[in-house]
Structure 1
Amino acid sequence: MTTAPGATAPDVLRYAAFTTDPSGGNPAGVVLDATGLDDATMLAVAAEVGYSETAFLTPATETAPLSLAPGRAFDVRYFSPRAEVPFCGHATVATAVALAERIGSGELHFATRAGSVPVEVVGGPDGTLRATLTSVAPHVDAVSEADVAEALDTLGWSTDDLDPTLPPRIAYAGARHLVLAAATCERLAELAYDFDRLARFMTDRDLTTLQLVWRQDAHTFHVRDPFPVGGVIEDPATGAAAAAFGAYLRELDQVGPAAELTLHQGDDMGRPGLLRVELREGDLRIRVSGTAVPITAAG
């Protein structure tokens, strides 16, 4: 990446989200001060970092909640190596933990392109920081049989590979994801697809990832997220898709009005991550929580 004459390259932090191991979870870039960076520069920084997303923070331009302490509200934008995305869960968790390490735990407020996202960071007995984001209002939409057929063909799946109790839907909680449920863990483990074809399919339908899932039990799922529109084959841990999936399960009455879900992601990539999803009765928004740790040169 090159910078304009006289400009200073932004300081990029690197964190792994949804893990306590720097070699696990999903790595994210974090730029805590992106003041003065234009879109082209942020995209170039994200491409150079090479992670699925990098978050860029600037001081809040909208009025923060009255309950929030000064200096804890930010405008946040997210860039993949190829394009801007409206919301990214793992980069939100990584950013919140990075901020908490510098300004202390507690409540934060992120104004994103998808809407307002409150985040709370708390410390555990061992000092590990856990961030919980609250999604924007989610919704779940039907998907045409033709689109499902094309997605399955691109993945090399057939309709027999699907779990009939979890039908395909498009779920949104800040970004759009096509949910496809595998009938077996073996089907989920064998992920190979036409990268360019799936990227075109997803771009034409404004999809951020495919949320591929296998249900272990009523509240435990294994998930994988192809992300060719972002320039990567697969996302190791996807907070935005986890939030959308929580909304999907509630819409289909697969869980009660209040539920806690555990999502395992990244195992097949050698980067295991753990995502907690919480649904609260009387609140449509979905909460996703996880830990994050710095990635050092040795990590």
Structure 2
Amino acid sequence: MRRFFVWSALAALVGLLIAGGGYWAYWTYYARFQPVTVSRDQESIQTLLDEAGWISAGGGGSPVYIVGYRDSAAMQRYEREEVPKLKAAGAEVRFILFARPDREGMQQSTAAERATVAELWLTRDWSLYERWTATPTASWTAAGIPAADDNLARSAVVDAGQKFVTDLTGYLRNSGLQPRYPLILWRDQQGFLKACACTDPRSWVFIRDDLGAPDRIDSDVPVELGLEPETQPEGTPPLDYPDLPPIPDGETAPADAGDEAARPSANPSAPKRPTTPPPAPKAQRQDDTTFY
């Protein structure tokens, strides 16, 4: 009986270890990358998104909101790799940019960034957003854009963007989401509002599944040029195939006799040598010569 209890306790311990390891693997490799279904404050969140100064290239499909700041490397990568897939599924991608507030007395945004954010919120100019994101941050000077720091109205717009982010992240924390950027919000096919702090690429697949977006886009697909095939005018007879001279049977034409005579021999005869060699010269003695 004692041995039975020992083996039972050992089996229970092994089972607990296996269950704990399975839960750890499930959380580490799958669950923590899943989006959060917003269960509270859905109406308030939707009102914030509708009233924000978002910008879009159009599309007219199901809106997908991407919230972030200019220097976010994860947001730039998501826009470069995933946004074309969402557009291929018919979604309308809406970007909401904000300038990060100061942190412990240190500025996290530049004057050019604040001026551009205020201009985007006021005008929703998509071409301005394209120029801004195509230019390196260090080279962007916001030329031609009114400054926000010395303008009370534009400073209020920048502050409104920061308040929008504070309110939005507060609502999402109530649903269990820890905000990180890019912060993406969308509605699935059943109409449920979902949110994702998509800093890791392993979270992106859930958005594609909800929106029916492809996993990849083939860039080598040929483009139809729309050219119509040429048609023969009515009443014009087709051209006859031209008559060509017959082709000779031999591969090479025979050479003329004159050419054979003029052509030098391939093995010319060597010059004849004399039969008897000439006699060798005789030695002669010369007289001594006296030099003075």
TM interval, short-chain normalised: under 0.3
TM-score for the superposition, normalised by structure 2: 0.21
- 1 or 2, which has the higher strand percentage? 1
Point out the structure with max Rg over C-alpha. 2
TM-score for the superposition, normalised by structure 1: 0.21
